[in-house]
Structure 1
Amino acid sequence: MGTIVSNNLALGELIKMVSEYRTGLSGLSELEGELLIETLKARALNELDFGQELSSGPVKLVKRVTGNVSIFFGKI
């Protein structure tokens, strides 16, 4: 059974999936994981307000006041 990444998923679901990928719980390939991360960044660019942050497990997503989106992995 594979994980389906869709643009219809909520931002919170996407960040949770990235967290699972980064901790090795999802079983996604490296290519699928990178595509998931790019999907998350694109959605965050459109949906987050400037300066807003979201986190799930070891993943922190930040939309900077400049408009750039950053993802941090590790201890938060």
Structure 2
Amino acid sequence: MWQVNISCSGDAWKRYAIDFKATAEKYQGELIGSKKMPDGTRIMAYKIEDVSDAEAFQEDCVNFTGFTADFESL
């Protein structure tokens, strides 16, 4: 089991939210945490079973300008 951690600025979220959500739907993941910070930053965590999917999801996320992502074992 893997956790993919994603964060982005408020501006990046406004620009790429629809595309990001479409990307997230491609993976067999479960949203386990989502938080909007006072400055507009978004922090999200997804639980994904397969390490290859976790790595691919992380790589897809950082293609959106203003998004950062990493993954870790649960």
Give the TM interval when normalised to the shorter protein. 0.3 to 0.5
Larger radius of gyration: 1
TM-score by length of 1: 0.32
Report 1 or 2 for greater relative contact order, CA contacts < 8 Å, sequence distance ≥ 6: 2
